[in-house]
């Protein structure tokens, strides 16, 4: 009886060991195939590669990520070709002409007054779905390279101070969670007052430092190409960018604020300006305000100067959120004080984002920089 119990225990242990071994092998295979996604998560979360040097230098290990990428590209190509083929096979219906004895005349419609709500009454709209065409594994930038330093426009004359839109024009919102709060107020007001449509692709946790996670220059390029009526791009980002950032596969990260980091980052900012200019669109770049955390706030000051200098070089509009909240130097406050002495909370408890009132204040300021049919928003 004792010998039988020992045999049963040994078999149980063997089964458990086999199960554990299978799980380890399965985890290894999944990590091998999904190494790109794991690496991107580590970059965005911990600002490091989270990879062992021995694996980074192994072509066999890299084969798994390349294989997954190739399969993804093949799937996208197959779906695209299948949809194109299905569209091409749709028969064209014949046009049937019908003659009427009398012309059809629509009855007159009585004109009704149009109510224009103030910006304070605008409710946030649900953000639109993200573009499926943008791959999170892509780290390439658009083919249009920024102009050389000598060829770039000088900000001495002709600096843009207001954007003029016409019927049929569209506005494109670019940014992170800061823009996610502000864009709906802008979009609703533009549509309700002037029937100006918007394209809102703002997405949290995004910026310009990690194009492998989300590539804003590429997204801007593809969006401007597919929406030919965009005449204004409003950009609001920054808090996700003040970190060391990757510089290609297998290369060391670029140190934040280093000359190499700034050069790479400026090039991405310039690419967005170049894409806007190529598609005849103006730009309003909103600089992030001071933050509650001193270290993050100092980083925002550095990025603000960078955004401002590039906007001036391209003769576009730069708007600092600090001016909207009345921040001086490096000060921070959760509240704004009206002339009557009343305190209003404009910043969220995390010291980064905004309350609904703070979002509306930024949206209202942006709207003062836009004119439609020679009517600017400051008059309403």
Instruction: Say which residue the tokens 């009526």 belong to.
Output: 229
User: What is the sign, positive or negative, of the torsion defined by CA atoms of 265, 360, 186, 125?
Assistant: positive
Lowest mean pLDDT among 32-36, 49-53, 111-115: 111-115
Contact 38, 51 (CB under 8 A): no
Judged against a pLDDT cut of 50, whether residue 232 lies above it is answered with: yes
Backbone angles phi, psi at 321, to 5 degrees: -65, -20
Question: What confidence category does residue 80 fall into, taking pLDDT thresholds of 50, 70 and 90?
Answer: low
Lowest mean pLDDT among 73-82, 333-342, 344-353: 73-82
The pLDDT tens digits of the residues spanning 139-156 come to 455 554 554 544 544 444
Q: In the chain, which residue ranges form alpha helices assigned H by DSSP?
A: 2-33, 35-46, 53-56, 59-88, 177-194, 216-226, 259-278, 294-313, 321-325, 356-367
Long-range contacts of 144-147 (CB under 8 A, 24+ apart): 144/221, 144/271, 144/274, 144/275, 144/278, 145/271, 145/274, 146/267, 146/270, 146/271, 146/273, 146/274, 147/270, 147/274
Q: What is the dihedral of CA 330, 332, 337, 342, to 10 degrees?
A: -160
Task: Using a pLDDT cut of 70, give the percent of the chain over it.
Answer: 62
Q: What is the pLDDT of residue 165?
A: 96
Q: What is the pLDDT of residue 17?
A: 84
Judged against a pLDDT cut of 90, whether residue 175 lies above it is answered with: yes
| Angle (deg, nearest 10), helices 2-33 and 59-88 | 60
Q: What is the pLDDT of residue 110?
A: 40
Backbone angles phi, psi at 22, to 5 degrees: -65, -40
Paired tokens of 35? 């190494």
CA distance 203 to 176: 5
Q: What is the pLDDT of residue 113?
A: 39
Domains and CATH numbers, the chain: 2-79 (no CATH), 123-379 (3.40.50.1110)
Model pTM score: 0.66
Question: What confidence category does residue 132 fall into, taking pLDDT thresholds of 50, 70 and 90?
Answer: very low
CA distance 26 to 82: 33
Q: Highest-confidence range of 25-29, 108-112, 176-180, by mean pLDDT?
A: 176-180
pLDDT (mean) for 89-114:
41
Lowest mean pLDDT among 65-74, 121-130, 152-161: 121-130
Question: What confidence category does residue 94 fall into, taking pLDDT thresholds of 50, 70 and 90?
Answer: very low
Q: What is the pLDDT of residue 34?
A: 58
The pLDDT tens digits of the residues spanning 267-288 come to 999 999 999 999 999 999 999 9
Judged against a pLDDT cut of 80, whether residue 28 lies above it is answered with: no
Task: Using a pLDDT cut of 90, give the percent of the chain over it.
Answer: 52
Contact 49, 56 (CB under 8 A): yes
Select from 238, 214, 206, 216 the least CA-distant residue to 305: 238
Q: What is the pLDDT of residue 4?
A: 72
Lowest mean pLDDT among 43-47, 185-189, 254-258, 287-291: 43-47
pLDDT (mean) for 297-311:
98
Judged against a pLDDT cut of 70, whether residue 259 lies above it is answered with: yes
Paired tokens of 235? 């950009």
CA distance 272 to 144: 10
Question: What confidence category does residue 62 fall into, taking pLDDT thresholds of 50, 70 and 90?
Answer: low
Q: What is the pLDDT of residue 26?
A: 77
pLDDT (mean) for 121-135:
38
Q: What is the pLDDT of residue 16?
A: 85
pLDDT (mean) for 95-111:
39
Q: What is the pLDDT of residue 64?
A: 61
Average pLDDT score over the chain: 78
| Angle (deg, nearest 10), helices 259-278 and 216-226 | 0
Judged against a pLDDT cut of 70, whether residue 188 lies above it is answered with: yes
Q: What is the pLDDT of residue 257?
A: 97
């Amino acid at each position: 009886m004792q010998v039988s119990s020992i045999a049963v225990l040994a078999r149980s242990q063997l089964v458990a060991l086999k199960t554990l071994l299978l799980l380890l092998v399965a985890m290894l295979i999944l990590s091998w195939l999904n190494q790109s996604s794991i690496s991107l998560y580590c970059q965005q979360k911990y600002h490091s590669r989270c990879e062992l040097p021995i694996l980074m230098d192994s072509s066999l290990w890299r084969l798994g990520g390349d294989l997954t990428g190739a399969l993804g590209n093949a799937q996208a190509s197959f779906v695209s070709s299948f949809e194109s083929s299905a569209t091409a096979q749709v028969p064209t219906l014949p046009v049937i002409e019908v003659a009427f004895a009398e012309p059809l005349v629509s009855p007159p419609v009585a004109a009704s007054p149009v109510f224009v709500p103030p910006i304070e009454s605008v409710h946030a709209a649900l953000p639109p779905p993200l573009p499926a065409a943008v791959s999170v594994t892509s780290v390439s930038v658009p083919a249009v390279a920024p102009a050389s330093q000598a060829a770039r426009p000088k900000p001495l004359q002709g600096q843009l101070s207001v954007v003029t839109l016409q019927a049929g024009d569209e506005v494109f919102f670019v940014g992170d969670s800061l823009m996610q709060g502000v864009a709906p107020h802008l979009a609703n007001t533009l549509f309700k007052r002037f029937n100006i449509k918007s394209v809102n692709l703002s997405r949290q946790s995004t910026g310009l430092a990690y194009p492998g996670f989300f590539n804003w220059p590429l997204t801007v390029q593809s969006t401007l190409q597919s929406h030919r009526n965009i005449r204004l791009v409003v950009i609001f980002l920054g808090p996700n960018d003040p970190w060391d950032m990757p510089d290609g596969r297998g290369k060391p990260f670029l140190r934040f604020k280093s000359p190499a980091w700034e050069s790479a980052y400026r090039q991405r900012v310039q690419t967005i300006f170049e894409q806007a200019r190529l598609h005849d669109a103006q730009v309003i770049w909103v600089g992030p305000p001071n933050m509650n955390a001193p270290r993050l706030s100092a980083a925002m000051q550095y990025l603000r100067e960078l955004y401002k200098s590039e906007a001036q070089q391209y003769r576009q509009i730069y708007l600092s959120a600090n001016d909207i909240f009345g921040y001086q130097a490096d000060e921070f406050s959760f509240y704004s004080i009206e002339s009557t002495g009343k305190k209003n909370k404009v910043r969220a408890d995390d010291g980064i984002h905004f309350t609904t009132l703070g979002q509306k204040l930024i949206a209202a300021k942006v709207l003062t920089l836009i004119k439609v049919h020679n009517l600017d928003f400051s008059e309403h």
